[in-house]
Amino acid sequence: MPITQSEVEKIAKLANLELTTEERESFSVQLAAIIEYIDQLNELDTSNIKPWQPKSAGEMSQSSASREDIVGPSLGQQKALEQSPDHDEGHFLVPRVIGG
């Protein structure tokens, strides 16, 4: 199913994107290929496939992967800070990563 460049432009406008002429041409080809693939998937017979549904909280608690949430003693602020390479006034100091 061919996708026109005007349809690509509509989609770009909805996504608040500005596209060049080359990008519109490229995306129209790519979107057409995606829709063609989806059409192929639609040809599959899924009549005997049960719909997938995530487990509810009740079902999850019955799972063998779940365990009791047991509260235990924490490390504590003082002990954690003692093991920190750099701290100040009860906070960990870390190197600046963004900006600066």
DSSP state of 84: -
Tokens of 5: 């460049």
> What is the model's pLDDT at position 39?
92
CATH of domain 5-42: 1.10.20
Of 1, 74, 60, the closest CA to residue 32 belongs to 1
β partners of residue 92: 87
What pLDDT is stored for residue 99 in this prediction?
74
Mean pLDDT per 10-residue section of the chain, whose length is 100 residues: 85 93 91 93 89 69 66 90 91 84
pTM of the full structure: 0.45
Q: Please name which of 34, 28, 36 lies closest in space to residue 9, comparing C-alpha atoms.
A: 28
